[in-house]
Amino acid sequence: MSFWERRRVRVTGGGGFFGRRLVRRLESERPAAVVAPRSSDYDLRDAAAIERCLRDARPDVVVHAAAAVGGIGANRSHPGKFFYDNAVMGIQLIEAARRFGVGKFVCLGTVCAYPGETPVPFREADLWNGYPEPTNAPYGLAKKMLLVQLQGYRAEYGFAGIYLIPVNLYGPGDNFDPETSHVIPAMIRRFTEAAERSLPEVVLWGDGSPTREFLHVDDAAEAVVLAAERYDAPEPVNVGTGSEIAIRDLAAKVARLTGFSGRIAWDRSKPNGQMRRRLDTTRARETFGFAARISLDEGLAQTVAWWRAEGRAAVR
């Protein structure tokens, strides 16, 4: 019998970019049910709504993928909201899941929880060796507190909660809103529009020197499924590709894919954010057999094609 057979799964954030792909991947395992209602049905900032949600769903497994997220600009504009929303959603949900007897809890953290000066590659043992990069520290710390809660609940109550640390996700269906999108969808939208309008220049934040690691959303969904099945320990686990790319090189790739041939300029008055991000993914490979399969070039091409064929129509 498979791990998922006869189990009911509750996915928070199931209507979001990652949540939709995760639900699809979970459904392929044919569990007893996958329940992914919208925030309009159950506001996870409201303890009473969480209790009602768990009573209605009766889950054996909870995957907490809901988050208030955004790029550097959104984090700078809404540090209080990002801290409160992420902390209160997770803390209340974990407590309610414990009391309702949920058998497995999978919590998605964030690479933003790592200290700003973490040696590369980021190893899970470095997570507490400093303060997160200031531009997104409130978000990172709110998510980091959920790891503390899960470890405390495992020690005191035997609660089977695990904590995954994914890098920046991207792929078809991503958030392309100019105010809240992350770097890849933001670049795709700006370069596509600039190419279509024959603009001579696109200006991007920072100086292009920082590096980032990106994980395709379908690889991330696979990692969650494998971790839920095979991993049950208190230590956090990095989930990524183990490779990094400079933002200026990423911009050049996106420009080529979108047909933009103008100049890429850099606004050095804007923050770079953390200078380097690359994960050590050894623990994920050794403990639950995850290795990313979709290359960045392949994933970028998919995402650009989706934006042209479906995405722009959806946001108009």
**Which of the 8 DSSP states describes residue 266?**
E
* Given the residues 42, 114, 139, 231, the one annotated as active site: 139
CB 35 within 8 A of CB 9: yes
Q: Given 3-state DSSP classes, what are the helix, strand and coil percentages for the chain, each rounded to the nearest 5?
A: 45, 15, 40
SS3 state at 263: strand
CB 218 within 8 A of CB 170: no
d(CA 166, CA 168): 7
Residue positions counted in the chain: 316
Q: What's the farthest any 2 CA atoms get from each other in the chain?
A: 61
Active site residue 153: no
Q: Residue 120 corresponds to which amino acid?
A: V
d(CA 8, CA 100): 13
Residue spans of alpha helices (H) in 42-199:
47-57, 72-77, 79-99, 137-157, 183-196
How many Cα neighbours within 13 Å face the side chain of 185?
A: 25
d(CA 220, CA 1): 24
Beta strands in the chain (DSSP E): 8-12, 33-35, 61-64, 104-108, 161-166, 168-170, 201-205, 211-212, 214-216, 237-239, 245-246, 263-267
Catalytic residues: 139
